[in-house]
Structure 1
Amino acid sequence: MKLIGIQRNTKNEKRYNSRMGILYTRVTYIKKAILGIPFRTLHKYRETYYGEIKDCESCVLSR
């Protein structure tokens, strides 16, 4: 078993964008894991309807 590893996890989340309104999208989290326990989120991104990969900083969770 590795001491430090990388895990990916994909969830369906509700996001809000000022131009599109409420958006239900799949968000992928890349996390650092120590002994299999997720420790820190390194990056999160989402895929648009057109297949582009975007950073989640462009969407705000609340209005």
Structure 2
Amino acid sequence: MKLISIKRQTQTEARFSTKMGTLEAKVTYIKKQFLNIPIKTLHKYRETYYGEIKDCEDCVIAR
């Protein structure tokens, strides 16, 4: 049994971009887990409408 593992999870979130406004995007989180308890998010990225992969730093979560 592994103590430390890395999981990838995709979920749909509402994002806001200054050029496009509010949009629904698939955001993928890569998390480090210790005994299936999430410890740290290593990286998160999103897929755009055109199929490009971008980092989530250029847009903020819409509220």
TM class by smaller structure: over 0.9
**Shift of residue 52, structure 1, vs aligned partner:** 0.8
State how many pairs are aligned: 63
Structure 2: any 5+ residue segments left out of the alignment?
none
**TM-score normalised by the chain length of structure 1:** 0.92
Paired position in structure 2 for 1:2? 2
Residue 3 of structure 2 aligns to which amino acid in structure 1?
Answer: L
Give % identity: 65
1:9-44 deviation per Cα after TM superposition (whole angstroms, max 9, x unaligned): 111100000000001011000000001111110000
Residue 24 of structure 1 aligns to which amino acid in structure 2?
Answer: E
- State whether structure 2 residue 45 is matched by structure 1 residue 39: no
| Partners of 2:15 and 2:62 in 1: CA distance | 8
Paired position in structure 2 for 1:29? 29
| Partners of 2:12 and 2:62 in 1: CA distance | 16
**TM-score normalised by the chain length of structure 2:** 0.92
After TM superposition, where is structure 1 displaced by more than 3 Å over at least 4 residues in a row? none
